[in-house]
């Protein structure tokens, strides 16, 4: 996928989010500062000459997150709804870990705000302790997770977050914004659940594509979009609009190859040869109408012709099958509408999560 902060001429631009929907978004970032033993003990005891280092640093972190758009040129100005800064001290490493959790209901994410909050907090610790240690090192600033938006939930590798669950400081004495000490530990506990990559297959239905008379653009687009969300595309197929052949392919993918999800594209319109929905329902064990309804609703905001789409979604054994339209534009609209939620459905289907709760 292209870099969104550059136009077709290579000029840096702010991403236009005018047409995006407002959704609840959250980001968590972390970083650490390595200090000598004297600084570590002084910060822990609150005896640094300049004052309570962590209290000041927490305030600086919140202020930094709020001022991100003033520091990073292409960041949007966002009305943050919450910002929390937490600290953990790891005596073995002589390290002070910082996490910043930022929330907003808006049209773009708050990853940069969380990263800026961590940076500001750690820089403040450095500033307040530099008279005691000339060799402090700020390191490992990174995004732990982000949720919300069209790209859905993204969780990074949490192996390195184990240090955050070390020696806890009182949330009342060592954090700002009513931060709760359990937040980071809860994030870490979800590592096992979030490291699985879903096995996906992409099947294109097109008589002309199968005959070599038309280039398949929708199939590769699906592969690109889902790969960006952590799916492993283990199989791609290009088939003619023949119902029995489609049914056979779907059964093989679900029963023999046991993929987690099959995305199909094409064959969902009114043409007499369009039979993908019929083939899907012929092999399905359970219907999942909500996914198809959500895709039609999303497309209907762009064009009233969305009502002519006959896409369906269904389950066969432990595999989810999702029909997508044939045009690349419609594929993009439909996937952006449902990908953030489909992963939770897969977690339930494969026994990795409980039923949905509000």
Q: Is 285 exposed, middle or buried (0-12, 13-18, 19+ CB in 10 A)?
A: exposed
Q: Residue 21's beta-bridge partner residues?
A: none
Our answer to whether residue 127 is catalytic in this structure is yes
For residues 275 and 181, state if they share a domain: no
For residues 187 and 75, state if they share a domain: yes
Q: Can you give the residue range of the structural domain that contains 209?
A: 199-349
Alpha-carbon distance of 287 to 51, in angstroms, equals 62
| CATH at residue 289 | 3.40.980.10
Domain boundary among 143, 166, 192: 192
Residue 358 maps to a domain: no
Per-residue pLDDT tens over the stretch 210-251: 999 999 999 999 999 998 787 999 999 999 999 999 999 999
> Residue 19's pLDDT band (boundaries 50, 70, 90)?
confident
- ∠ CA 290-315-343 to the nearest 5 degrees? 65
Out of 38, 52, 86, 127, pick the active-site residue.
127
Helix axes 328-349, 218-227, angle to 10 degrees: 40
Overall number of domains in the chain: 2
Residue 350: what pLDDT? 86
Residue 318: what pLDDT? 95
For residues 278 and 222, state if they share a domain: yes
Residue 354 maps to a domain: no
pLDDT of 12 over the 90 cut: no
| CATH at residue 62 | 3.30.70.640
Share of the chain above pLDDT 70, in %: 84
Residue 17 maps to a domain: no
Domain boundary among 154, 172, 192: 192
pLDDT of 148 over the 90 cut: no
As a whole number, mean pLDDT of residues 183-199 equals 53
Phi-psi region of 78 (alpha: psi -120 to 50; beta: other; left: phi over 0): beta
Tokens in use for 51? 């004052």
For residues 125 and 84, state if they share a domain: yes
């Amino acid at each position: 996928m292209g870099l969104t902060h550059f136009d077709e001429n290579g000029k840096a631009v702010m991403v236009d989010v005018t047409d995006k929907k407002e959704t609840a978004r959250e980001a968590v970032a972390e970083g650490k500062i390595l200090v000598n033993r004297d600084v570590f003990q002084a910060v822990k005891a609150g005896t640094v000459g300049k004052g309570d280092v962590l209290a000041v640093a927490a305030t600086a972190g919140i202020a930094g997150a709020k001022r991100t758009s003033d520091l990073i040129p292409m960041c949007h100005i966002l009305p943050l709804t919450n910002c929390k800064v937490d600290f953990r001290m790891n005596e073995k490493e002589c390290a002070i870990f910082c996490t910043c959790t930022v929330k907003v209901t808006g049209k773009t994410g708050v990853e940069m705000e969380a990263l800026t909050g961590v940076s500001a907090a750690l820089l403040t610790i450095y500033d307040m302790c530099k008279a005691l240690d000339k060799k402090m090192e700020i390191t490992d600033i990174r995004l732990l997770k982000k949720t919300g938006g069209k790209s859905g939930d993204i969780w990074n590798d949490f192996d390195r977050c184990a240090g955050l669950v070390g020696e806890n400081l009182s949330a009342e004495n060592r954090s700002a914004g009513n931060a709760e000490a359990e937040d980071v530990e809860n994030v870490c506990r979800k590592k096992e659940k979030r490291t699985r990559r879903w096995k996906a297959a992409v099947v294109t239905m097109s008589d002309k594509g199968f005959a070599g008379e038309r280039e398949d653009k929708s199939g590769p687009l699906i592969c690109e979009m889902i790969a960006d969300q952590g799916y492993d595309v283990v199989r791609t197929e290009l088939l003619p609009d023949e119902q029995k052949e489609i049914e056979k392919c779907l059964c093989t993918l679900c029963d023999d190859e046991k993929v987690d999800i099959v995305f199909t594209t094409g064959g969902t319109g009114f043409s007499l040869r369009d039979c993908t929905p019929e083939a899907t329902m012929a092999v399905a064990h359970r219907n999942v109408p909500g996914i198809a309804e959500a895709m039609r609703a999303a497309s209907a905001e762009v064009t009233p012709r969305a009502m002519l789409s006959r896409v369906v979604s269904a389950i066969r054994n432990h595999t989810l099958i999702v029909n997508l339209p044939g045009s690349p534009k419609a594929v993009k609209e439909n996937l952006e509408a449902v990908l953030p939620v489909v992963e939770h459905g897969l977690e339930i289907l494969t026994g990795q999560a409980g039923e949905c709760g509000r």
